Amino acid sequence: MVEFDRQIEPFQQELLAHCYRILGSVHDAEDLVQETYLRAWRARDAYDPSRATLRTWLHRIATNACLTALETRRRRPLPAGTVTERLATDPLVHGGEAAWLQPIPDSLLHLGSSTGVAIDPSSVRLAFVAALQHLSARQRAALILRDVLAFSAVEAADVLDASVASVNSALQRARARLNEAGVLEEEIAEPSQAEQRALVDRYMKAFQAADVEGLKKLLSDDVIMEMPPMLNWFTGREKYGQFMDWVFAEAGANWHLTHVAANGQPGMAAYRLGDSGAFELHTLQVFTVTASGISRNTVFQDTEIFAAFNLAPRIEA
């Protein structure tokens, strides 16, 4: 039993990333990985290494657990892929009970670390995972198994308990859908991590100074801002600047900012000075940084997400 636990332990981060890509929820993904390990432990005597590698066997358990979960759970997109763009000056509109894509801390996947299983950061980018949410459950699974995890068509068919022809058909439809969305074409060269960090540092400095013009200089022409659970989203520097003018007018110009890392992307946690005299957690923001500047800022305001990143609810001034 101890030996079996030792053999399956190294796959934990890879399975977590796999479940996260399919489900779009950190909490759900962690639950499904625990369920996967429980099912594997119970079925350990039935595992036949002559029929499948341990990695393939574990991914079969995890994938089927995710597909079952999706029968009763809604997909988790982002507002920009779901509703019509709004003006930056429009009132904020809450999405109600809509379930939105959640970011995942780099620390859970050991991204940027020399420990654990190597996971390609591009495979957990917010834009990529958001696009997956628009695929059917089996299309999602087929594309991840083949294009992300590099399983063969035969291995993917075994995981999905389907024919090779049906897996290839689902894969073709998934690729076509992602091509239509432009996701597969967005694999442009990113600045180095040091360059991204330097740009975000400049952004944070301008933010703390409530320097809207300074913020705008760090953005790409077609920058997108979205902020689930609000339905509002918009594009362009001018709209971004208009919204930030409103933010500083409404929430004040006294902020405490800290770096975060999510989905292989840089970000920050923003604390606003509250009436109590302490800085209160306001938002978690994840940036997409390109050679032309910050091209996307996805702003989250959700207590479950804050908890996943272990963010303190308040910081004394």
pLDDT of residue 189: 63
pLDDT of residue 179: 86
Residue 314, helix vs strand vs coil = strand
- Give the pLDDT band (50/70/90) at residue 6: confident
* In the predicted structure, residue 145 carries a pLDDT above the cut 80: yes
- Give the pLDDT band (50/70/90) at residue 115: low
Q: What mean pLDDT is reported for the chain?
A: 93
Is residue 141 within 8 A of residue 155, CB to CB? The reply is: no
**CA 117 and chain centroid, separation:** 18
* In the predicted structure, residue 271 carries a pLDDT above the cut 60: yes
Average pLDDT over residues 62-83: 94
CATH T-level topology, domain 2-86+101-184 = Butyryl-CoA Dehydrogenase, subunit A; domain 3 (1.20.140)
pTM listed for this prediction: 0.94
Distance from C-alpha of 268 to C-alpha of 69, rounded to nearest angstrom: 31
Tens-digit pLDDT profile for residues 226-259: 999 999 999 999 999 999 999 999 999 999 999 9
Q: Where are the domains of the chain?
A: 2-86+101-184, 193-316
pLDDT of residue 71: 93
Average pLDDT over residues 307-312: 97
- CATH code for the structural domain at 193-316: 3.10.450.50
Average pLDDT over residues 127-148: 95
For residue 65, CA distances in Å to 61, 77, 288, 306 come to: 6, 20, 31, 26
